[in-house]
Structure 1
Amino acid sequence: MDTTLQDPLVGQVLDGRYRVEARIAVGGMATVYRAVDTRLDRVLALKVMHPTLATDATFVERFIREAKSVARLDHPNVVQVFDQGAEGAYVYLAMEYIAGCTLRDVLRERGALRPRAALDILEPVLAALGAAHRAGFVHRDMKPENVLIGDDGRVKVADFGLVRAVNTVTSTTGAVLGTVSYLAPEQIESGTADPRVDVYACGVVLYEMLTGAKPHDGDSPAAVLYKHLHEDVPPPSAAVPELAFELDELVAAATARNPEIRPHDAVALLARAREARESLSPAQLDAVP
């Protein structure tokens, strides 16, 4: 956790309401702070857009519109959006604060997870995405950094509206959004994004949870993108022989390069994941990677 005191926002009250207490993380599009809503006396997370984005009127308009839409997405596994606004150069989103860590932190610390633990994370992620898909949303940037795991064990998906807002601004430059390791082939080829791109990304995340590594690597982002276009995601059991065939099948279904043969949305993939869990013995669920 980064609580650098030199950050000019730390210690300030943003928009006359949000007292910024600490910097939590810095990402490519925004900085996240822990803050207190002084009106409601509630701890929350404040995501403040980087100035280069905040000065773009098109981005700000789209961001606000998307934030309002995402705020209506009420699901226990989706990070709740409370408010959005702007003050001077700061464009922000006020969100539910989750005390805990990201799935990326877990993978960095522990490496590969047992199948039971991986499914315990995957299923609530898919439940959140399923609700979003049925409401007309596509996340577009599913990756371990956007999966929050609370100290109480709750699993939450973050960053729904942000990617769509940024996509409008960057698509004209040809920029490829999303971390390259999780992009579906159709996203790479044409920028197409329907629920099946989230299904693909979740298949990659599952592979990473089961093996401790990404399925495709390369010397450059372009090399990784090429592999996503031209190579199948390998079966997890090729890296961890103890893994059951049903898990190989689940990853293969989610990461089919042809979107037409993938589960059509996260609800469908969740059903497949639950079927896989039910077919595994306790020993298979607790196989040590």
Structure 2
Amino acid sequence: MIGRVFNNRYQITERIGIGGMAEVYRAQDNVLGRMVAVKVMLPQYAADQSFTQRFKQEAASAANLQSPYIVNVYDWGQDEGTYYIVMEYVRGSDLKTAINQRGAINQRKVAEIGSQVCQALSVAHGLDIIHRDIKPQNIMVQPDGNVKVMDFGIARAKNSTKEQTSSVLGTAHYISPEQAQGKELTATSDIYSLGIVLYESATGKLPFDGPDAVSVAMKQVQDEPVPPRELNPEIDPSLEAIIMKAMAKNPMERFATAKEMRSALNDYLAGRPVMLGGGFTSAQTQVMSNVPPISPMGDGTAVMPAVGGNQHGTSKSGQSHSYMSDNTAPKNNKKKIAAIVAAVVAVVALIAICAFALGGNGDSKEQIEVPDVTGQTLDEAKSAIQSAGFTVGTVQQQYSDKVESGKVISQDPMGKSKKAKGSSINLTVSQGTQEIEVPDLTGKTADEAKKLLQANGLKFKAGAAEYSDTVDKDLVVRQNVEAGSKVAKDTVVTYYLSLGSEGSSVPNVVGQTRSAATTTLNNAGFYVTYDEQYSDSVAEGVVISQTPESGSKLKADGTVNIVVSKGKESKAVSVPNVVGQSEGAATTTLSNSGFQVTTEYQASTSVSAGNVISQTPSSGSELDPGKTVHLVISTGSGSTGGGSDNSGSGGSSTSGGSGANSTGGGSGTGSNSTN
């Protein structure tokens, strides 16, 4: 594979990874001069339609997802039977490798990773796309510390129809309980998987493990995880609470959206109370769980529990212990006083927490107005934020058709709101109008072309269909915007479908014999039919004309009709009977019928001299006008005349006789002589 060039553009340079159904290579984009990653389907799956469909689906799903925390998909296609996807080349390593090398990761870094993955999932979920395979192997950590989510290989729209078995795809260590059971998935399934990723990142260990995928999947459904702080006591209770909420067995008990989970993580990173629902913060939940119940008096005044009462609680290990007991209470006054002081401190702490919750963030810092920096350049915004007494938090980039590149689209918190001095202001900065690489539509059906264009943020239009000798009927033969060119989002791309081949040129067979013409047309791939007609100019058996004419386009197995000459048309008439007529009468009859006449003379004892003895051809024969009828004229019984002309005069005589009917008498033996 090394050195191979896909689509005359992507030159493979190095293999950088391999998965269950594909290999990933680093490659050089020879058109744009940049490094890319090319994901190539393994050859054993290329012939399997279900795998190729899933491979195409990965490209179509990921290509429409635009986020700084999602690996961009640039292109995809097929080259000599090999399916490939061209993606953004991300420098760094995957999160799984980092965990394997370092063990537990700094908890603030874990929260930052979780926040960025939540932002990526928010984009996907906003398009009704569920990732289905969130795991640390699919989260790339870049040198700058930011992450990118990749491999939407089994992602699909939640309302698409597909076999039920597809819902259990994924890695067993990270799948949700409903995914392990083959149930319908929602966005909260990705949230569960992300919870496991954060659990593993913060503790260095998986919450559920086993000898095989089935046993791990069963634990996902049935077992509760060990709280992260039991594995790593340094984990902040707020972060632990976020992770455990994300990993709730019941999807309804998890964060409702990735955006909600991201807000909780950002609150933790900013030092704000983390709201987990039910009106309590994670800090309140943590403290209140270790404080004895407070009984109100009739007037509503809170009363401390009796020091001598038998109040029970539960230790971290799950064993019951007493806060204070008559049987075990020390009789030492100093210890009683210490217990009372501890109880009072607990109540004061509780009151302080309640005041914190009711009073907002409890920050004693001055509350000042946040400057509105939307529409400003990043440098201007930073300057304004710092001048107002705030700090610049995260800066994200996002495409925008309305805000000029380099200027602030939005901010969090919003301008004009009141925040503590020194708080962080997060910014989203415009990358300008998104430039989209136009996909190659050649050879695709109309539906495939439409979906591909829409997946890339482009619009479509169908042009007039046209003939093509190279592209099959009903497939795209060309497009008006060249594939690979960069255009703005929502650009209209016109595609043209093929009508199939217009056909081959019909050879010229006019002037050939019928046999030769048939052979020529058959060799060109056509059938032949023929008609016949008379022709005064074309010899019999020769082609007079053809339909279609030579040079016309005709599809293979089409039919060509040829017209073959029958020669000149016959106008023959019946020869009249002139036997027994006088020579003059016979000549007149035949001349009137259009025939020429020749004569000869001979003696006859049965036919009177001067009358016709016989004719050739005989009467009733069919003869063309202008042809000759030959007559034999009787000279009587005494002499034989010979020779003739069309005048019917002259005669011949035998030796010693006289030539009756002759003109100018002759003597001797001059038979067949004409006078």
Instruction: Using structure 1 for the length normalisation, give the TM-score.
Output: 0.87
Runs of 5+ consecutive residues of structure 1 not aligned to the other structure? 1-8, 282-289
Q: Output aligned runs, 1:95-244, within 5 Å.
A: 95-160=87-152, 162-164=153-155, 171=163, 176-244=168-236
CA distance change for structure 1 residues 173 and 138 in 2, over 3 Å: closer, same or farther? closer
> What are the superposed Cα offsets for residues 195-249 of structure 1, whole Å, 9 maximum, x if unpaired?
1111000000000010001001112211111111001222110101122211221
Residue 329 of structure 2: aligned partner: none
Q: In 2 relative to 1, CA 219–53 (structure 1 residues): closer, same or farther, beyond 3 Å? A: same
| 1:248 maps to 2:240 | yes
Deviations 1:116-168 (A, max 9, x none): 111121111111111111121110000000001112333100012x1137xx9
Q: Which residue of 1 aligns with 2:11?
A: 19
Do the aligned residues in 2 keep the contact of 1:103 with 1:144 (CA within 8 Å)? yes
Residue 6 of structure 1: aligned partner: none
Q: Pick from 250, 257, 266: which aligns with 2:249? A: 257
Is the 8 Å Cα contact of residues 129 and 155 (structure 2) preserved in structure 1?
Answer: no
Aligned to 2:353: none
Counterpart residue identity of residue 20, structure 1: I
Distance 1:78 1:193, change over 3 A: same
Of structures 1 and 2, the one with the larger relative CO (CA 8 A, separation 6+) is: 1
Q: Distance in 1 between matches of 2:204 and 2:163?
A: 32
Between stretches 182-191 and 140-149, larger displacement belongs to 182-191
- Which AA in structure 2 matches 1:242? E
- Could you tell me which runs of 5 or more consecutive residues in structure 2 were left unpaired when the two chains were aligned: 274-675
Q: Corresponding residue for 1:93?
A: 85
Contact 1:18 1:37 in 2 (8 A): yes
Name the residue aligned to 2:35.
43
- 3-state SS of the aligned residue for 1:208? helix
Find the residue that maps to 2:173 and give its secondary structure. Answer: helix
User: Are the counterparts in 2 of residues 236 and 247 from structure 1 also a CA contact under 8 Å?
Assistant: no
Indicate the structure with greater helix content.
1
**Alpha-carbon distance, 1:66 to partner:** 4.6
Which secondary structure state, in structure 2, belongs to the residue aligned with residue 133 of structure 1? helix
Contact 1:139 1:198 in 2 (8 A): yes
Which 10-residue stretch deviates more, 171-180 or 188-197?
171-180
SS at match of 1:182: coil
What letter corresponds to residue 220 of structure 1 in structure 2? D
SS in 2 for 1:199: helix
Counterpart of 1:286?
none
Secondary structure of the corresponding residue to residue 16 of structure 1: coil
Q: Which moved more, 1:73-82 or 1:230-239?
A: 230-239
For residue 287 of structure 1, what is the aligned residue in structure 2?
none
Distance 1:229 1:65, change over 3 A: closer
Separation in structure 2 between the aligned mates of residue 79 and residue 174 of structure 1, nearest angstrom: 23
Q: Which region of structure 1 is more displaced relative to structure 2, 259-268 or 50-59? A: 50-59
| Comparing 270-279 and 178-187, the one that deviates more | 270-279
What secondary structure is seen at the aligned counterpart in 1 of 2:83?
A: strand
| Cross-structure match for 2:293 | none
Aligned mates of 1:174, 1:198 — CA distance in 2: 15
Alpha carbons 1:235, 1:251 under 8 Å: kept: no
- CA change 1:76–1:38 in 2 (3 A) is same
Q: Deviations over 1:227-280 (max 9, x none)?
A: 110012221101011222112211111000001111122112111212233347
Check the 8 A contact 2:139/2:147 in 1, yes or no.
Answer: yes
Over 3 Å counting, the alpha-carbon distance change for 1:66 and 1:242 in structure 2 is closer
Aligned to 1:30: 22
How many angstroms apart in 1 are the aligned matches of 2:101 and 2:229? 22
8 Å CA contact 1:101, 1:149 repeated in 2: yes
Would the aligned equivalents of 2:11 and 2:28 in 1 still touch at CA under 8 Å? Answer: yes
User: 2:130 aligns to what SS in structure 1?
Assistant: coil
Whether contact under 8 Å (1:143, 1:182) holds in the other structure is yes
Measure how far apart 1:82 and its partner are.
Answer: 0.2
Q: Counterpart amino acid of 2:104?
A: A
Task: Read off the aligned partner of 1:115 and give its amino acid letter.
Answer: Q
**What CA distance in whole angstroms lies between the structure 1 residues aligned with 2:132 and 2:167?**
14
**RMSD (Å) for aligned C-alpha atoms:** 2.3
Give me the whole-angstrom Cα distance separating, in 2, the residues matched to 1:101 and 1:262: 29
Is contact 1:77-1:124 (8 Å) kept? yes
- Counterpart residue identity of residue 17, structure 2: A
Q: In 2 relative to 1, CA 51–164 (structure 1 residues): closer, same or farther, beyond 3 Å?
A: farther
**C-alpha distance in 2 between matches for 1:192 and 1:175:** 7
- Work out whether residues 216 and 224 of structure 1, in 8 Å CA contact, stay in contact via their aligned partners in 2: yes
Specify the code of the residue in structure 1 equivalent to 2:261: L
Residues 131/219 of structure 1: CA separation in 2 closer, same or farther (3 Å cut): same
What's the secondary structure of 2:239's corresponding residue? helix
- Greater share of residues in strand: 2
- With over 3 angstroms needed to count, the CA separation of the structure-2 counterparts of 1:147 and 1:66, relative to structure 1, is closer
Deviations 1:55-113 (A, max 9, x none): 22243245324523421211111000000101123111100001111101111111101
Greater shift, 110-119 or 56-65, is seen at 56-65
SS of residue in 1 equivalent to 2:155? helix
1:174: Cα distance to partner? 7.5
In the TM superposition, residue 173 of structure 1 has moved relative to its aligned partner by 6.1
* Residue 42 (structure 1) shift: 1.3
